[in-house]
A and B are shown apart, each in its own frame.
Chain A
Amino acid sequence: MNLQECYSAIGGDYQDALKRLMNERIVQKFVFKFLDDPSFDNLIRSMDEKDYKEAFRAAHTIKGVCQNLSFSRLCDSSSRLTEALREEKSENYQVLLEQVKADYEKTASGIRELKASV
């Protein structure tokens, strides 16, 4: 699996990331770094603890990071969760969170697979 294949597997826009981040080395560096970002764990924990302010910030950060890496799929679901948290539409939290979890897992496993093959 190469970087580009990884992007298609996780629903990202490789060309966009490449264009903005200048070169493949940098894109790959930050894609790998994505695994170290604590925001997802933060999100899960604060949702468990019903600390929705913190959850908003965590979701917001995930969204920001995904925008920067052009992880479109996870960006979509995390922005929807961010907006629900901002507007305190608590009836939607669970469904949106599940989607973010699913997308995050797919993204993370795609990156791990790439890491294993590099």
Chain B
Amino acid sequence: MNSRNRFVQKILIVDDSEMNRDILSEMLGNEYEIIEAENGEEAIAILQQKNAEISLVLLDIVMPVMDGYEVLSVMNSNNWISDVPVIMISSESSTAIIDRAYELGVTDFISRPFDALIVRRRVVNTILLYAKQKELEAMVAEQIYEKEKNSSLMVTILSHIVEFRNGESGLHVLHVQAYTEIMLRHLVEITDKYKLTNDDISLIAKASALHDIGKISISDEILNKPGRLTTEEFEIMKTHSSVGAAMLSELSVYENEPLVKVAYEICRWHHERYDGRGYPDGLKEEEIPISAQMVALADVYDALTSKRVYKNAFSHETAVNMILNGECGTFNPVVLECFKSVADDLEKESKTDASDYILKKEMINVTDEMLQHGEFSASERTLNMLKYERMKSNFFSTVSNEVWFEYTEAPAMITFSGYGAEKLGIKEYIMNPMESEELGSIINRKDILALSNMLRNTTPDQPVIQYDCEVNCNGNKEYVRIVCRSVWSPDDNAKFSGAMGKFVQIDEETGSNFLEDFSQQDALTGLWNYEASKKRIQRILANKKNEQYILAVIDIDGLENANEKYGHSFGDCLLLHMAERVCRRIRRKDIASRAGGDEILIFMECESEIEKAVNRIFAVLGEENAIYSVSVCMGVAKTEKETDSYEKLFHMAKQALQAAKNSGKGQLRFYDSSMENSVSELSPIDETSL
């Protein structure tokens, strides 16, 4: 099964005309698994369920119930359109219609009449293109993430070394970074003079962390001197900007890295002044890069509002006034304006934990990047689906007021639903439940053991059991029924891996028997099992008035040989496939079941053209498949006035099947009395083999 899912691409054909769907299937040949939907609603249901498994959708526009445009809108609002390519197929040819389809995200447009070569080529191209794109997206996202993570980490380490020597808390670097970013974001709102993109702003903010790296060359005596520096000392201190820049420009291998270039500007020129009286180069006005201008202001504001060895902290208001009055150097009027507008935000920022801010920012940047470089990749969507399922079961377990539990073998742990834990008065998670005293105080140890043994003795085919016992709910003894199913590893060599179940109050139980419901299903195919279908059919026959019904028995040709040749899992796979096909073609009120080993039984009411309906099912079952060509024989019996017993009807269908098989592979026969002669070839209805 899994191998089939992995290698055969699934194509969803959505068209209200069966004929058109068939033509497309025929053209695509047997390289793909074709899933069909006859209107938009069906298509959405299939997409919802199969999600990332679908490689391509061929979509018609004009359809009943829900048309192609609506399907596209739903695909857009769920973001499916970015992972599942859509080719529009339509007899519409007006450009307005085609344009609208492209606007809604279709990849291609094939107009009628279909040309086999064109259909095939476009389908192949689109699938390849998307596969390639998904691969690239995953690579790019991975690289961006790694790069972001590494460079942020390195920058943080480097700047902390400086801070450490400075005897500062490390907050300075983070504050400067945050202030720079806030001011730059405002700057691009008030002027487009500097042509800064979002990426540029992030880069400048990141590089700002390096503004003081040159201080590493300054001796401790000067760097951490409590009093005022002498003129000579100040001259030495001033070298930190050019030394920092030199350190970066000597990184010859990386000197062209954008981060290094920006950091160079900031290191060298963050002590320049707008009036040209700064150091080291005496640049003035717009000669000073905007990055350095912003960092200079952020640096000054943080120095003023922080406590330093040589000074106490000024209040926010004082600091703002000092800067605006030009007491701390001259700044670009635009930069000052910017500072003034966001001053309140800076104050807020200075009080929050800056490191938290930066981390959050970082996360947002990474997700932004990933979003820009394509929507979630398939694996992420699988995770999202998983999350969704978790959320769903959490929600229902919370609101349903039932005691639910899940048991996993490795690690050995029982998890109760929130309500369940509360009701029983125990923890939600219990490790090693077999040895747990806590669990032992709720349920008798012998009951736990018995339950555990019963579960281990189930099979993947018959996983459901029930067990009645006494339970201690917060001190009150209650008699409950524990209904649970075992869980098995998915491989051929299935191993018991856990269980899930719930407690049912026996006095509240309204006559429904869980075991019966579960045991009526065939574990492999999900169809009814033979006994259950027989009961149902007998009930219908007993109540029947003038309606007519047919019973059909279907046998896959050569399944025995296939089992011998390819193993039983191959046969199972075929049966399951047939069961899926049958389910797709029958109505809700019809009955399909697995009758004995390899046979499938269908029971349905005859409406007007029963032969057509039967023929259609028969044709679908015999259709060629992507992996193997397979044919079936089918025997059909109709109810007559006198044949209203199930046994008779089943017998007739089996005879018709035998007659079909006698005439070769891929045969369909309706019962007629001449077949009565072949009774001898059949053992009398052998119920025990079923």
Contact = CB atoms under 8 A, between A and B. Distances in A.
Interface string B37-66: 000000000000000000000001011100
Given A54-B64, A57-B62, A63-B91, A39 B113 contact: no
A61 B23 contact: no
Contacts of B20: 61, 64-65, 68
B334 interface: no
B64 A65 contact: no
A109 interface: no
A33 B616 CA distance: 11
Given A21-B23, A54-B64, A57-B62, A67 B113 contact: yes
Contacts of A61: 16-17, 20, 62
A34 interface: yes
B612 A20 contact: no
B58 to A, nearest CB: 13
A30 B23 contact: yes
Interface string B110-122: 0011111100000
B96 interface: no
A11 to B, nearest CB: 15
Interface string A30-41: 100110110100
Given A21-B116, A67-B113, 9 more contacts: A19-B115, A20-B114, A20-B116, A34-B19, A39-B17, A57-B63, A60-B91, A61-B16, A61-B20
A22 interface: yes
B275 interface: no
A64 B17 contact: yes
B281 interface: no
B26 interface: yes
A64 B91 contact: yes
B31 interface: no
B22 interface: yes
Given A20-B113, A22-B116, A57-B63, A68 B19 contact: yes
A46 to B, nearest CB: 11
26 contacts: A21-B27, A21-B116, A22-B27, A22-B117, A26-B26, A29-B26, A30-B23, A30-B26, A33-B22, A36-B19, A36-B612, A36-B616, A37-B17, A37-B18, A37-B19, A57-B62, A57-B63, A60-B62, A61-B17, A61-B20, A64-B20, A65-B19, A67-B112, A68-B20, A68-B114, A70-B113
B54 to A, nearest CB: 23
Contacts of B114: 20, 68
**Which size bracket describes the interface of A in this complex?**
20 to 34
Output the residue of A39, A57, A64 with the most chain B CB within 10 A: A64
A41 to B, nearest CB: 11
A70 B116 CA distance: 14
A90 B667 CA distance: 49
A30 B115 CA distance: 14
Which 6 pairs show the lowest CB-CB distances between chains A and B? Answer: A67-B112, A67-B113, A20-B115, A64-B91, A61-B17, A22-B116
Interface of A: 16, 19-22, 26, 29-30, 33-34, 36-37, 39, 54, 56-57, 60-61, 63-65, 67-70
Given A21-B116, A68-B114, A70-B113, A30 B91 contact: no
Interface in B54-112: 60, 62-64, 90-91, 112
A26 B20 CA distance: 13
A64 B112 contact: yes
Interface in B608-650: 612, 616
Contact of A57 (B16, B22, B26): B16
Nearest to B26: A26
Nearest to A26: B26
Contacts of B16: 57, 61
A42 to B, nearest CB: 10
A80 to B, nearest CB: 13
A68 B26 contact: no
Contacts of B18: 37
A67 B114 CA distance: 8
A87 B221 CA distance: 90
Contacts of A54: 64
Interface string B11-35: 0000011111011001100000000
B19 A33 contact: yes
B348 to A, nearest CB: 59
Contacts of A68: 19-20, 23, 112-114
Contacts of B116: 20-22
Contacts of A21: 23, 26-27, 116
A69 B115 CA distance: 10
Contacts of B63: 57
Given A21-B116, A67-B112, A57 B19 contact: no
B628 to A, nearest CB: 21
Nearest to A30: B23
Contacts of A33: 19, 22
Contacts of A30: 19, 22-23, 26
B400 to A, nearest CB: 42
Output the residue of A39, A54, A61, A69 with the most chain B CB within 10 A: A61
A57 B61 CA distance: 10
Output the residue of B19, B62, B64, B117 with the most chain A CB within 10 A: B19
